[in-house]
A and B are shown apart, each in its own frame.
Chain A
Amino acid sequence: RKEVEQDPGPFNVPEGATVAFNCTYSNSASQSFFWYRQDCRKEPKLLMSVYSSGNEDGRFTAQLNRASQYISLLIRDSKLSDSATYLCVVQRKRGGKSTFGDGTTLTVKP
């Protein structure tokens, strides 16, 4: 079993839709969690960290469920510019080695 697993998609949604991605992790002792975004033929960039209490940044909401060992990313009011691959990242120890999921591809259509 992979340490970090994501549904690869693709998710194809119309503009304005709400879409959610989940990511599961295998090590219950993992401590830090992140979502990164990767545009086609570009390097990944941090989208947001995921905090235990959940956190929101504009149209993006991240949640952590330690009991079920998954994190989620919710995107509201999707824009064409949200089309990208979203990568889930897990760290076993704060500031330690990070493990990336394979990513979920989102395409937002007009």
Chain B
Amino acid sequence: GAGVSQSPSNKVTEKGKDVELRCDPISGHTALYWYRQSLGQGLEFLIYFQGNSAPDKSGLPSDRFSAERTGGSVSTLTIQRTQQEDSAVYLCASSLGWAGGSTDTQYFGPGTRLTVL
């Protein structure tokens, strides 16, 4: 079946512009995560959605970052007034969440490579 998809695959923008990144999770997955990864670095957690619960936004680095998940499916990560330090690969992952139990596996999308000039 279809995996997690993300769009665009690459995004080049100018400093100060807003960008929107999209994630289409696997159908039926209640949990959705956003991470970012700079070259050679580990995954940096940004935000976590689980069903209808309030999202865990504890990883968002500033109020320029926001995310929403509509209808428990598609998610959009928005970065306002982009800065050069926002350049990274933004990865989305989904999982069965509570339904997955102890074998809850995260499936990652291919990522969006964001470059802020």
Contact with B along A67-110 (1 / 0, CB 8 A): 00000000000000000000101010011111111110000000
What distance in Å separates the Cβ of A6 from its nearest Cβ neighbour in chain B?
Answer: 9
Bound Cα distance A101, B96 (Å): 21
Closest chain B residue to A36, Cβ basis? B106
Query: Are B102 and A31 in contact (CB-based, < 8 A)?
Result: yes
Q: For chain B, which range describes its interface: under 10, 10 to 19, 20 to 34, or 35 or more residues?
A: 20 to 34
- Decide if A49 is an interface residue (CB 8 Å cutoff): yes
Contacts of B104 in A (CB 8 A): 32, 91, 94-95, 98
- Decide if B1 is an interface residue (CB 8 Å cutoff): no
Query: Are B102 and A100 in contact (CB-based, < 8 A)?
Result: no
Contacts of B98 in A (CB 8 A): 94-96
Contacts of A101 in B (CB 8 A): 42
Closest chain B residue to A3, Cβ basis? B45
Contact with B along A19-57 (1 / 0, CB 8 A): 000000000000110101000000111100100000000
Contacts of A44 in B (CB 8 A): 43, 91, 93, 106, 108
What distance in Å separates the Cβ of A55 from its nearest Cβ neighbour in chain B?
Answer: 11
- In the complex where A96-B98, A100-B42, A100-B43 touch, is A46 in contact with B50 (Cβ < 8 A)? no
Contacts of A98 in B (CB 8 A): 33, 95, 104, 106
Contacts of B109 in A (CB 8 A): 43
Query: Are B91 and A43 in contact (CB-based, < 8 A)?
Result: yes
Contact with A along B39-66 (1 / 0, CB 8 A): 0011101001010000010000000000
Contacts of B33 in A (CB 8 A): 98
- Decide if B71 is an interface residue (CB 8 Å cutoff): no
Contact with A along B76-117 (1 / 0, CB 8 A): 000000000000000101011111111111101111000000
| 12 sample A-B contacts, Cβ–Cβ < 8 Å, listed by A number | A43-B110, A46-B105, A49-B102, A49-B103, A87-B43, A89-B106, A94-B98, A94-B101, A95-B101, A97-B48, A102-B43, A103-B43
